[in-house]
């Protein structure tokens, strides 16, 4: 099966940021930019949601690593290839840094698979979140065979009927506008913040930065 698209660009956190080790997993469309039912097909169609760069900068200044996790099935649908996705994300990085110098993405993971492929990385399965955690916190290589295998496995088990798992880190969170985002975060035991696709991540930043805020209630539908 074709692999997940990985862009790993770690950078030091801003000066004076707390070193709590938390990771903010962010969906892309409807969280960072205006989504489209016809997909975002080129950099020109990428339109930033209001204050999204400021939100990312605030999270990094508060000590969070940023990992974007996005389903991008147009690749396996044959609409465009990984090079086009890289062009879109290069543009995204530029726009965010232009608006906030701290709005850096430490990692971008994109699942190219369709629902019928039933891979471990397509949300609501948590493969991208698990892989991002292992790279950003545990320091494994992006070329680590065991982790890559887990990411692309189609036999990953999630007990959707069971209890929400315990998180590996209490600060970690998942921000998304859809149930599939919340399902992936739930399967990883994260704090969940579901946003309005018209406003994106900025309105929930205050809640994320409040370590006492447990996030939104959610239970996935199998």
Q: What pLDDT tens digit does each residue of the chain (222 aa) get?
A: 567 899 999 999 999 999 999 999 999 999 999 999 999 999 999 999 999 999 999 999 999 999 999 999 889 888 889 999 999 999 999 999 999 999 999 999 999 998 888 888 999 999 999 999 999 998 887 776 566 666 656 556 788 888 999 998 999 999 999 999 999 999 999 999 999 999 999 999 999 999 899 999 998 876
- 36: three-class secondary structure by DSSP: coil
Residue 188 is predicted with a pLDDT of 95
Catalytic residues: 27, 29
* Contact in structure between 145 and 41 (CB atoms under 8 Å): no
* CA proximity to 72, closest of 64, 83, 62, 63: 83
Residue 153 is predicted with a pLDDT of 61
Domain coordinates in residue numbering, the chain: 5-209
Residue 161 is predicted with a pLDDT of 86
CATH 3.40.50.720 fits 5-209, yes or no: no
Residue 91 is predicted with a pLDDT of 98
8-state DSSP, 27: -
Residue 97: exposed, middle, or buried by beta-carbon count in 10 A (0-12, 13-18, 19+)?
Answer: middle
Q: What is the CA radius of gyration of the chain?
A: 16
Residue 33 is predicted with a pLDDT of 98
**What is the rounded CA–CA span in Å between residue 147 and residue 91?**
28
pTM, two decimal places: 0.94
**What is the rounded CA–CA span in Å between residue 51 and residue 43?**
19
Query: Tokens 């991002």 correspond to what residue?
Result: 132
Residue 1 is predicted with a pLDDT of 52
């Amino acid at each position: 099966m074709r692999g997940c698209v990985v862009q790993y660009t770690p950078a030091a956190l801003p000066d004076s940021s707390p070193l709590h080790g938390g990771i903010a997993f962010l969906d892309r469309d409807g969280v960072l930019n205006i989504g489209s039912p016809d997909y975002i097909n080129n950099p020109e169609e990428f339109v930033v949601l209001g204050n999204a760069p400021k939100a990312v900068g605030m999270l990094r200044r508060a000590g969070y690593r940023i990992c974007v996790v996005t389903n991008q099935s147009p690749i396996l649908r044959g609409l465009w290839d990984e090079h086009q996705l890289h062009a879109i994300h290069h543009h995204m990085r530029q726009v965010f840094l232009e608006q906030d110098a701290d709005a850096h993405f430490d990692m971008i993971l994109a699942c190219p698979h369709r629902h019928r492929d039933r891979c471990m990385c397509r949300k609501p399965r948590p493969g991208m979140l698990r892989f991002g955690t292992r790279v950003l916190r545990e320091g494994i290589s992006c070329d680590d065979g065991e982790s890559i295998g887990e990411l692309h496995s189609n036999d990953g088990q999630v007990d959707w009927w069971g209890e929400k798992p315990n998180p590996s880190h209490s600060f970690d969170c998942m921000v998304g506008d859809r149930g599939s985002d919340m399902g992936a975060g739930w399967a990883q035991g994260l704090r969940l913040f579901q946003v309005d696709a018209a406003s994106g991540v900025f309105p929930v930043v205050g809640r994320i930065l409040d370590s006492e805020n447990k996030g939104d209630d959610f239970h996935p539908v199998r």
